[in-house]
Amino acid sequence: MNAVTLNRRQMLFAGALAGGGLWLGMAPSGAAALTADSASLNAWVRIMPDGAVTIMSQNPEVGQGIKTSIPMLVAEELDADWANVTIEQTLADAKIYGRQAAGGSMATTLLFDPMRRVGAGARAMLVAAAAVRMGVPVESLSTEKGRVLHKATGRSMGYGELAASAAMLAAPDPKTLVLKDPASFTLVGTPVSGVDNRRIVEGRQPFGIDTVLPGMRVAVFHKCPTFGGTVA
């Protein structure tokens, strides 16, 4: 099942990062209100002053590729440069992220719309900030690979340059966001390597079996070598 239940009635939240960045997300249904001073990793997307983008992945990755595919939905609507995106696994915290579990093959179905709106919300705020900085109408701007473009004059600004200004703006109502026509997708639907592939093949990716706790004991299963045998 999907790790967190989101719907269009939920409010986008935004705040400033130390050093002038932007973090933006969507509060899980029934979860406590999230604030900018929360100690938990509660943002779905963070943009740093240098333009680096971090997208959070709350679903457990058990080989189904969800740690790559769901963040791609956010990056698509954000018009982020995938080469400049880092994926970070969220903490296991049901109060913030809701139910975090794998099974049912429903993550993409349930998150397809909400996660796109998170990305679209961040993009809208960055474009609004650029319009103010450039002194041009919002409608005259477009985005591409982590930059806001004013094609009429050839000017452009990187997301990192705009992050601090965008963080000062009110987050848009998710219901008012206009999502891309799938025909215009540039990332979703393209072959993308799994974000953990290199760490896996190099033996650096941690798995559940790697967990070590103080005083932990390891149980082993002793299988009878004879079919139909019983315990003596």
Contact (Cβ atoms closer than 8 angstroms) between residue 53 and residue 85: yes
Task: Give yes or no for residue 39 having a pLDDT over 60.
Answer: no
Strand-strand pairing, 53-57 and 85-89: parallel
Identify the band that residue 60 occupies on the pLDDT scale cut at 50, 70 and 90: confident
Higher local confidence (pLDDT), 17 or 154: 154
- Mean pLDDT, residues 167-190: 90
Tell me which of 169-173, 185-189, 222-226 is least confident: 169-173
Task: Give yes or no for residue 66 having a pLDDT over 70.
Answer: yes
Rank 18-22, 45-49, 141-145, 174-178 by mean pLDDT and report only the highest. Answer: 141-145
pTM greater than the 0.75 cutoff? yes
pLDDT above 70 covers a percentage of the chain that reads 84
φ, ψ of residue 12 in degrees (nearest 5): -70, 140
- Mean pLDDT, residues 97-124: 85
Higher local confidence (pLDDT), 18 or 64: 64
Candidates 98, 17, 114, 15; CA nearest to 59 is 98
Instruction: Copy the structure tokens of residue 113.
Output: 């719309």
